[in-house]
Structure 1
Amino acid sequence: MNKPDPIPARLAALKTTPTHDLKKQWRDLFDSEPPPFNRRYLESRLAYRIQELTYGGLKRETVRRLERLGEELDGGDRKKSRVRADRDRPTTGTRLLREWQGVEQVVTVTADGFEWQGRPYRSLSAIARAITGTRWNGWVFFGLKNHRRGA
């Protein structure tokens, strides 16, 4: 007799688990402090980690392919890619303003991302999606579309 797989139920339970319990699970599963990101980020990373520990991680071939793609983007130098990202970002403390459907939206650039309505975000695109309900390039949404071309 086959036992039912408990993992789908465990993943579904993440949606209703209190945030402090999600952070405890993070500590248990990653053996590190949880990052200061929003709840959805914690849920998605925990869901992946639970499945990774139960069913196994990415295949070695997939990891190699991802590493090759990363090298194409930044020459394999993780430090260089971070420096490039930092160079392109507005200065910490900058406030980005955007009016959307008659409401002024204010985003503050933080040391490790962005903050909107008191919540941390890693990307402007996630904030733009939260505001509009649709996918947007965050740089375009906030009027920074030419940031990579130096314009």
Structure 2
Amino acid sequence: MTDTIPARLAALKTTSTPDLKAQWRDLFDSEPPPFNRRYLESRLAYRIQELAYGGLKPETIKRLEALGEQLDGGNITTRRIRKDLKPITGTRLIREWQGVEYLVTVTADGFEWQGRPYKSLSAIARAITGTRWNGWVFFGLKNLRRRA
């Protein structure tokens, strides 16, 4: 392709979604994920630049991985929860469900309910209700997370 990289990147905005998916197959050698158009555009733009100019240096990748290990010990679940959005250790969350009051305590490693440790609020909400719930929504923290 003789197009310049900036021209290829600009063209992504006006390319049809089926054509974006075809480009994905060419550049990634895999089927495109079922995500929205904006995601496809951003990942394709990164990939085009990566192939043209090179990706991250191996030293940079190692450094980023080491920093991630320091933050979360390699636990991908922990990586998804921003520390500044998690309630402070010792906080007590109270939720009334079908006339019964439930008390959950925030711990350094997760949460505690009825003397048992849990990694997520969703697991506690599931144990209380018997159905799948987003724990942040169940305990009324979802709007607080969005505002922060």
Q: Normalising by the residue count of structure 2, what TM-score does the alignment of the two structures yield?
A: 0.53
Gaps of 5+ in 1: 98-138, 147-151
Work out the number of aligned pairs and report it.
99
The match for 1:38 is 36
Of 13, 25, 41, the residue aligned with 1:15 is: 13
The match for 1:87 is 120
Gaps of 5+ in 2: 83-118, 127-131
Query: Cα–Cα, structure 1 residues 82 and 69, in superposed 2: closer, same or farther, change >3 Å?
Result: closer
Query: Cα–Cα, structure 1 residues 83 and 58, in superposed 2: closer, same or farther, change >3 Å?
Result: closer
What secondary structure sits across from 1:143 in the alignment?
helix
Deviation, structure 1 residue 18: 0.3
Query: Cα–Cα, structure 1 residues 23 and 61, in superposed 2: closer, same or farther, change >3 Å?
Result: same
Q: How far apart in 1 are the matches of 2:133 and 2:20?
A: 29
1:70 paired to 2:68: yes
User: Could you tell me the percent identity over the aligned residues?
Assistant: 65
Alignment of 1:1-150 (within 5 A): 6-78=4-76, 80-81=77-78, 87=120, 142-145=142-145
What secondary structure sits across from 2:120 in the alignment?
helix
What secondary structure sits across from 2:50 in the alignment?
helix
Please tell me whether the aligned partners of residues 21 and 32 of structure 2 are also in contact (alpha carbons under 8 angstroms): yes
